[in-house]
Amino acid sequence: MNTINNFKRRVDHLPEDAIACLQKVEDLFGASWLKEDGNHLLQILWLRRDPLSTNELYVLGNAIKKLQPTHKDWLASIAEDIKRDAATANGFIFEIIVCGAIEGTNGAKLKPSPKNKPGVDLTLRFPDGFQYEISVKNHGISKHETEFQSRSKSLDEIFQAGLKAAGKNGRLFVSCEDHMTEEDFQRCTEVLQNTRLSTGKYDVDGSRLGMIFREFSNEPGKTFSRNFTSHLCIVSSPQHRNDRLNFRDKLSIASGNMRKHLTRTPKNFLLLRMRLHANADIIGLKNLAQEMIDHDENCGFDGVILTQATVVKGDGRTAIHTVFQAAMNGQRDSLIQAGMAGNRLNVGLGLGTIGQTPTHVQLDVGNGKPMRMDPSNYFYQRGDFYYLMKEESGVFTGEMESPASGIHTHCVWKNAGGEVLMKGISPPTEELLLI
């Protein structure tokens, strides 16, 4: 009963089968394992109670629900692989989601490949013998961006400690003209530790690397708490030069793997299905894939479907938005004949909205003019704003919200005994882990 109650707190705006889908996740992976306080992304999502984590778990559970009647043993086997190795879990989880999302017309049958079968992860076979042979790839966050996020978090913690010691609230914006190295972060750390910050700009390494600090003051109708430190830290840096090459290498490696293990026949179409991290250049990758299909005689795939899901905000709403791009060899006779026979491939994309134009990030750096980020930049954004609740006729009111990814507004109730903090249920950052 406690489990079901937890589900109900998380599914207010999801389809009617949401509880059943969450139950499928729990049944497959085990309640005791999911509730462990570990570093596995499924455990992290399960222990969270925010709507975003629930949305992602729903998509996974919905896929499990669709696959279980005919592929129960395969699901059990892949679930053990997921639980055993957190480092490779993302790829296996996405494989389940893709298998649950793909359908075919005319009574087509979906068959996941046995473990360790190279080149193909699932096959969609139609009654007339035509089949899509599909390789599934997950392109996650790069090693260089992971390092950037970790170093930015450490810098942010030093900044918050400095603010607290000085009894100030404030915003820090760090930017660099080229990729920030470990030495660059160390220079910024030294400035924060050895300088009494006041509103202004600080050149850390000439004009190349700098920091802007602005002390907060109370805004009309808003009063900062005295006991809790309000802060905002933003760090922006061009991505490492190898990241673009790594994005492209993913396509080349997938092409080579499919070429090595799969054979084109008059009755098949070789398809690559790839999930991209939010910072990947989806348009550039789509164009590269189309160029490989059109001009590379050794290209191992006939088509590529790319998706890139992000969380977007606007007009007071938060939604999961998926960018969809595809590159295809429309001249393959097998595909033409399949189309004439009505053998179509349907791809589900989970929840939210869909479009072909990549989203963009805008950051508020404190000058009243939101700055549009280069889509290839790394950025780190964390902030907590602690405002006293307003009192009117003995009634206290306040807002607990997340106006942007990584930024949270909290309510502080001030009474005769001191200040009491109230936080909303929201994720640390609005970064998708599974979809």
Predicted pLDDT at 317: 73
| Mean pLDDT over the full length of the chain | 89
Q: What is the mean pLDDT of residues 342-355?
A: 87
pLDDT digits over 37-59, tens only? 888 999 999 999 888 899 999 99
pLDDT digits over 326-338, tens only? 999 999 999 999 9
The backbone torsions φ and ψ at residue 204, rounded to the nearest 5 degrees and listed phi first, read: -90, -40
- Written as six digits, the tokens of 215 are 């002390």
Predicted pLDDT at 313: 77
Task: Return d(Cα 405, Cα 428) in angstroms, integer.
Answer: 8
Contacts of 33 (CB under 8 A, 6+ apart): 43, 83
pLDDT digits over 126-157, tens only? 999 999 999 999 988 889 999 999 999 999 99
Q: What is the mean pLDDT of residues 221-229?
A: 92
393 CB-contact burial (10 Å; exposed 0-12 / middle 13-18 / buried 19+) = exposed
Q: Identify which of 269, 251, 259 has the alpha carbon closest to the alpha carbon of residue 345.
A: 269
Predicted pLDDT at 2: 40
| % of the chain surpassing 90 pLDDT | 61
On the question of pLDDT at 368 being above 60, the answer is no
Least confident of 43-47, 317-321, 419-423: 317-321
Bridge partners, 312 (sequence order): 319
